[in-house]
Chains A and B, each alone.
Chain A
Amino acid sequence: AQSVTQLDSQVPVFEEAPVELRCNYSSSVSVYLFWYVQYPNQGLQLLLKYLSGSTLVESINGFEAEFNKSQTSFHLRKPSVHISDTAEYFCAVSEGAQKLVFGQGTRLTINP
């Protein structure tokens, strides 16, 4: 079975600083990888995904993630964060075609 490890449960950063949220997964076979964001009292929203092709994927709001097969990682980065990025971020890996396996989440807190 797949597993996902998000190495940091909380990440506090100052506004306009860069941030990296770390994610490692267990599989050695081809997988699809996802980052979801959850704002307070909301459901999950897809932020970005890696399916195939370029190992660097980007979202519309400035986040990017890089798939690294040798390190089984899919870290999420943003060069300059905003207060509105405060949320919980979940890394997920596909298990078969039926379900996603999520990490425990990283709470990103942006301080002014």
Chain B
Amino acid sequence: DTGVSQDPRHKITKRGQNVTFRCDPISEHNRLYWYRQTLGQGPEFLTYFQNEAQLEKSRLLSDRFSAERPKGSFSTLEIQRTEQGDSAMYLCASSSSSGRLIDAFFGQGTRLTVV
């Protein structure tokens, strides 16, 4: 296990379709984060898991977005009824729960284009 893995790397979808992204964290990391990065901006926090529990969700995460981490390992982020404004890079990160967010390792991201 060499790092955080995200799949797919690129996704082009038509407006109104549903998409699902997967993130596999570093195996010993029990914290998992999703961020969204739009063009020319820094990443923005979406949600965070400690093991399988989703502990925080940003107001950016509308009801069309849902994230899961069913067994405390990999995570999925689903976007329903995609809109053009959902076009962005979706980044996943993981870290260990040593009391502080100290070393968050990021995956290479999934670039979503909604046409």
What is A's interface to B at a CB cutoff of 8 Å?
A: 4, 6, 9, 32, 36, 41-46, 49, 51, 90, 92, 94, 96-105
Contacts and interface: CB of A to CB of B under 8 A. Distances in A.
Given A99-B56, A101-B45, A102-B42, A94 B105 contact: no
Nearest to B99: A97
Given A42-B108, A43-B108, A99-B56, A104 B102 contact: no
Contacts of B107: 43
Contacts of B21: none
A42 B43 CA distance: 13
A44 B33 contact: no
B106 interface: yes
Contacts of A100: 43, 45, 101, 104
Interface residues of B, number: 26
> Which 8 pairs, one residue from A and one from B, show the smallest C-beta to C-beta distance?
A102-B42, A43-B108, A44-B106, A43-B106, A99-B45, A43-B109, A102-B43, A104-B42
Contacts of A32: 100-102
B28 interface: no
Contacts of B74: none
